[in-house]
């Protein structure tokens, strides 16, 4: 896949899956906007890695749950770059995947759901609204939203997180129907457990081993396993694909 002369925004790109995605786009020649919330040093390390891989990169701090901060980020991109070809909505509200210490439904306040809705859905809404004028000008673009295979198979009931990701899939399919006539595609990538990341470090070895035993490919994904499917959906190779959710979990979910 060739992303030369393409501009890609990756939110939450200073670590984990987001950092792996930024570097993968850069390795294919892309100009990557490395969005981050607060860890400037980590974001700049990702920028350096992107440039070492042959791409271009720009780090921009913005809380994607803030409409004003997203607007400011997009104004800078419009001024310095002038276009956006693809957006990967990867950022999400902080969450720890720990089956033993997870909050049971009867102890989960609505505020926990709201935090996850803001991190998954409001953040995606803000960025889609902000990037739409640039994409409409060129009648093309790809939006990839990161969801979870827990929506299809809630093997561990992380209530607030999974509910928010479910809503994100519904949002994405509806947006795909709206934006298709404008040449803008919207798809989702739904990973299973990805290890190691900051969110998954608390997932104990016995839980990981149980998931591995149920997974046809007999392992758990690394951040790098997620990059190929995302790049595919962001590229011209998937030019006739929209409104889809691609599960990237070694076959744990088959639909």
Q: Compute how many other C-beta atoms are within 10 angstroms of the C-beta atom of residue 229.
A: 18
Q: Compute how many other C-beta atoms are within 10 angstroms of the C-beta atom of residue 166.
A: 18
Cα–Cα distance for residue pair 89/86, rounded to 1 Å: 10
Q: Which of 36, 95, 158, 161 is catalytic?
A: 161
Q: Computed from CA positions of residues 242, 188, 247, 33, in that sequence, does the dihedral angle turn out positive or negative?
A: positive
Helix, strand, coil proportions of the chain in percent (round to 5)?
50, 15, 35
The number of CA neighbours under 13 Å toward the Cβ of 188 is 27
Helices 223-234, 16-27: crossing angle, 10 deg rounding: 50
Q: Computed from CA positions of residues 137, 237, 173, 124, in that sequence, does the dihedral angle turn out positive or negative?
A: negative
Identify the helix (H) or strand (E) that includes residue 14: none
Q: Look up 158 and say whether it is catalytic.
A: no
Residue pair 85/6 in contact by the 8 Å Cβ criterion: yes
Q: Which residues are catalytic?
A: 161
């Amino acid at each position: 896949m060739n992303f030369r002369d393409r501009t890609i925004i990756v939110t939450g790109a200073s670590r984990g899956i987001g950092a792996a995605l930024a570097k993968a786009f850069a390795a294919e020649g892309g100009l990557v906007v490395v969005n981050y919330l607060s860890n400037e040093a980590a974001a700049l390390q990702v920028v350096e890695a992107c440039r070492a891989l042959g791409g271009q990169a720009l780090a921009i701090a913005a809380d994607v749950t803030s409409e004003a901060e997203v607007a400011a980020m997009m104004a800078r991109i419009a001024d310095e770059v002038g276009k956006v070809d693809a957006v990967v909505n990867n950022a999400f509200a902080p969450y720890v995947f720990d089956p033993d210490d997870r909050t049971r439904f009867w102890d989960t306040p609505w505020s926990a759901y709201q935090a996850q809705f803001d991190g998954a859905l409001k953040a995606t809404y803000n960025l889609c609204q902000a990037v739409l004028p640039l994409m409409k000008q060129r009648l093309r673009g790809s939006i990839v939203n990161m969801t979870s295979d827990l929506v299809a198979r809630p093997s561990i009931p992380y209530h607030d997180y999974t509910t928010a990701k479910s809503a994100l899939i519904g949002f994405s399919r509806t947006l795909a129907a709206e934006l298709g006539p404008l040449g803008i595609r919207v798809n989702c990538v739904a990973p299973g457990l990805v290890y190691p990341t900051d969110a998954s470090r608390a997932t104990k070895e016995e839980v990981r081993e149980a998931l591995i035993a149920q997974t046809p490919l007999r392992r758990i994904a690394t951040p790098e396993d997620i990059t190929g499917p995302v790049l595919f959906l962001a590229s011209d190779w998937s030019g006739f694909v929209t409104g889809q959710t691609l599960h990237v979990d070694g076959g744990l979910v088959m639909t």
